[in-house]
Amino acid sequence: MEERIVLVSFFLLFIVKKKQVAPATRARSKQEKQPVRKFPNTDMVYHFHPIGFVNHMKLIYGGGNGLGVCYGEARVRAFMRMLRIGEGTKDEKGYERIVGGTHFSDHGKDFSGHPNVKVYISSIEDYSYAAGAYQITQKNWNDTPFVNWRKKKGLSDFSPESQDKYCLYLLADKKKSLDLIKQGDITEAIRKCRKEWASLPGSGHGQREENLFEILAEYTKYYKEELNGITTLKMPWGTAKQLGYDCCSDDDNDTSCGKENIDLSNRVPWMSQFNKDEAGNREGCFRTSKKLLMKSGLPDSSGKNINPILIVTEDSEAKTISINNQNAIKGIEYIDSELEKGNPVLVGLHYNFTFKKNTDKTTDHFFIIKGRGCENNKRYFSFYEVGTNYGDKGIHPMNKLFLEEDNTLRGTSKYKPSHKYIVSQVRKN
């Protein structure tokens, strides 16, 4: 670990040194532009943030959240980017877009203040002044609490970075949804915000609304990008804290269980078992979980039913289970060893006595474990729930399996807490 951190530090020092000496060797001409970095086949510009890079390195080499990664802020930033999808402003030019599709320059406007351009919207048979990446209205702009907030923060312009900050204000102070977002309750946050942004599902404004599952899928993609230091936002990481919004207080920083925290969210994708390949098949949890292993870079043999570690056996007649304690310990040791290598692990779950289709006649469901942590001096393992279409619930931070005194892993998912999971088997990579 020490050697890896030194390498990262050397890399960052090299970047700083290069930036310091470059002006002395050759001044950049006025005509020469900075290189534009775009996502493939799009006009969306991405920005590399050193803080995001360092966080990414910390995630790769262990240390979890105890080393400073703020997952709450990543969720807030991903939510902000998600808002721009339905508003038609997710591209780089979105910061200067007027409702209806024109741009500031088309009306002789700049970023010195809200453009205050009046546009007739036929779908609502009314006028709108919405502008910028978050389509901030003139009514919001002139709202006394918002005016006072801008004065207090020393903000007066309508620059792209300021627009991002204004979105934070609307989420936190007006819609009171920031806590929901940083805790991962994205569906509930959407419900609270849908009267502010008409494109959100269920807004009822008479305008085109986004599909809930589609924008949740985009949110999960943006969340992973933010964890990896990739963003289309203009405000730097840490801005929320500078503005007085604590996005990190609910992050798990407890390291008192003797094992360092690990979270592989930055490299392990999420997918619903109700994806297009499994359309109409309500029993695709294993195949979907196996796909997630492969998308994480593991070989095709990973997760197969080859010498699994069998932990629980059910007696469906008596409706009881028996536990192989020795295998339970082996299962924990195996999961720990794989997570420390940066690999997720596929596990089987038992939660009822009616499903008999799996070979052990005990396992009712499958998903992948992608992290570990400590809560109130009790170890837990975090997982992705594939048995839902709701992306925010699939990756919810409350999806946890706790290590009990009998060495079993037990817990529930945010999507369906009535399912009391116990890990019945561990599949090897």
Cβ–Cβ < 8 Å for 331, 426: yes
Residues 201, 301 share a domain: no
- The pLDDT score that the predictor gives to residue 355 is 86
CATH of the domain at 73: 1.10.530.10
Domain for residue 417, yes or no? Answer: yes
360-378 pLDDT tens trace:
999 999 999 999 999 999 9
pLDDT of residue 307: 94
Q: Is residue 217 helix, strand or coil? A: helix
For residue 78, tell me if it sits in a domain: yes
Check whether 90 has a pLDDT greater than 50. Answer: yes
255 within some domain: no
Residues 47 and 165 in one domain: yes
310 in a structural domain: yes
Q: Are residues 327 and 361 in the same domain?
A: yes
Question: What pLDDT does 279 receive?
Answer: 62
Owning domain of residue 290: 262-426
pLDDT value at position 52?
Answer: 46
d(CA 283, CA 92): 41
Tokens at 304, concatenated: 């197969």
Domain check: are 227 and 89 in the same one?
Answer: yes
Listed residues 212, 242, 272: the one ending a domain: 242
Domain identity same for 141 and 66: yes
Where does a domain end: 242, 274, 309? 242
- Which of 211, 242, 273 marks a domain boundary? 242
Q: Which of 309, 264, 273 is nearest to 291 (CA)?
A: 273
Q: Which residues pair with 403 in a beta bridge?
A: 409
**In terms of pTM, does the model score above 0.85?**
no
Torsion of CA 251, 253, 256, 260, to 10 degrees: 110
Give whole-number Cα distances, 66 to 253, 262, 275, in Å. Answer: 5, 9, 34
Overall number of domains in the chain: 2
pLDDT of residue 69: 73
For the cut 80, the answer to whether the pLDDT of residue 258 exceeds it is yes
Tell me what the mean pLDDT of segment 230-246 comes to: 96
Residues 286, 228 share a domain = no
Residue 249 lies in a domain: no
Residues 294 and 379 in one domain: yes
Report the interhelical angle of 160-169 vs 71-86 (nearest 10°): 110
413 or 277, which is more confident: 413
Q: Which residues are catalytic?
A: 87
The whole-number average pLDDT for the span 382-390 is: 96
pLDDT band, residue 278 (cuts 50/70/90): confident
More confident: 125 or 340: 340
Dihedral over alpha carbons 272, 273, 275, 280 (to 10 degrees): -140
Residues 343, 213 share a domain: no
Higher pLDDT, 22 or 299: 299
Place of tokens 């195996």: 334
pLDDT at res. 248: 87
Do residues 154 and 208 both lie within one domain? yes
* Cβ atoms of 307 and 330 closer than 8 Å: no
Between residues 283 and 302, the one the model is more confident about: 302
Residue 303: which of 372, 388, 368, 395 has the closest Cα?
A: 368
Would you place residue 64 in the very low, low, confident or very high pLDDT band (cuts 50, 70, 90)?
A: very low
* Residue 108: band (very low, low, confident or very high) from pLDDT cuts 50, 70, 90: very high
pLDDT digits (tens, 9 = 90+) for 127-163: 999 999 999 999 999 999 999 999 999 999 999 999 9
Same domain, yes or no: 184 and 120: yes
Whether 421 and 287 share a structural domain: yes
For residue 251, what pLDDT band results from cuts at 50, 70 and 90? low
Is the sign of the CA dihedral 285, 288, 293, 299 positive or negative? positive
Kindly tell me if the per-residue pLDDT of 264 is higher than 90: yes
Q: Kindly state the percentage of the chain with pLDDT values over 70.
A: 82
* Contacts of residue 50, Cβ cutoff 8 Å, sequence gap at least 6: 12, 15, 229
Residue 323 domain-assigned (yes or no)? yes
247 assigned to some structural domain? no
Residues 218 and 329 in one domain: no
Lowest-confidence segment of 8-22, 249-263, 285-299, 300-314 by average pLDDT: 8-22
Q: Does some domain include residue 250?
A: no
